[in-house]
Amino acid sequence: MKPFLVLDGYDPAMPGWHFLTNHARVLLCIARDPGVRLREIAATLDITERTAFGVVADLTEAGYVIKERDGRRNRYEIQHHLPLPDPASEERTVGELLELLGGHDVRRTARPKRTSPRAARA
C-alpha cells in the first residue's frame, strides 16, 4: 500500500531509530488529516496497526486528541492549546510543536475542549 502522506525527509529504510517519537509522528499525521485511518497512519509511519491504535489510545486518554465517530470512521481533534508533556519544553503547546514540524499542512482546532491533558482522569 502506498502511503497517503509523505513526511519530508522520512525514509523507512533508514536506521532503526527516529528523531521524533511515534506519538509525535502520529500527532503530525492526524494534524494533516483529522479523518486519517489507523491503517494509513501505520503505512505512513511504517508501524503496525496495533502500534498506531495504541499511540492514538495514549493520546486520547491523555486528552491531547479527542476521537469522535463520523459514520463508520473516526475523526480526530487535536487539542492544540495543551502544554507539551515534556518539562524541558518551557511551556510550549502541542499546537506550536505541530506548526513547527508541519508548516502549512497543520490544521488548528476551532475550540479547546479540555483545560488539562489529564482532565479525562480527574
Question: What domains can be seen in the chain, in order of their start residue?
Answer: 22-110 (1.10.10.10)
b/e string for 68-85 if b means 16 or more Cβ within 10 A? eeeeeebebbbbbbbbbe
In this predicted structure, what is the pLDDT of residue 104?
55
What end-to-end distance do the CA atoms of the chain give, in Å? Answer: 41
Return the residue matching grid coordinates 502522506.
Answer: 5
Where on the phi/psi map is residue 29: left (φ > 0), alpha (ψ -120 to 50), or beta? alpha
Of 46, 103, 107, the residue nearest 76 (C-alpha) = 107
Backbone angles phi, psi at 49, to 5 degrees: -65, -35
Of 32, 44, 8, the residue nearest 104 (C-alpha) = 32
Q: With a cut of 50, which residues of the chain have pLDDT below it? A: 1-4, 109-116, 119-122
Taking the CB of residue 46, how many other CB atoms lie within 10 A of it? 15
Question: What predicted TM-score, i.e. pTM, was given to this entire model?
Answer: 0.71
In this predicted structure, what is the pLDDT of residue 56?
98
CB 94 within 8 A of CB 82: yes
| Number of residues that this document lists for the chain | 122
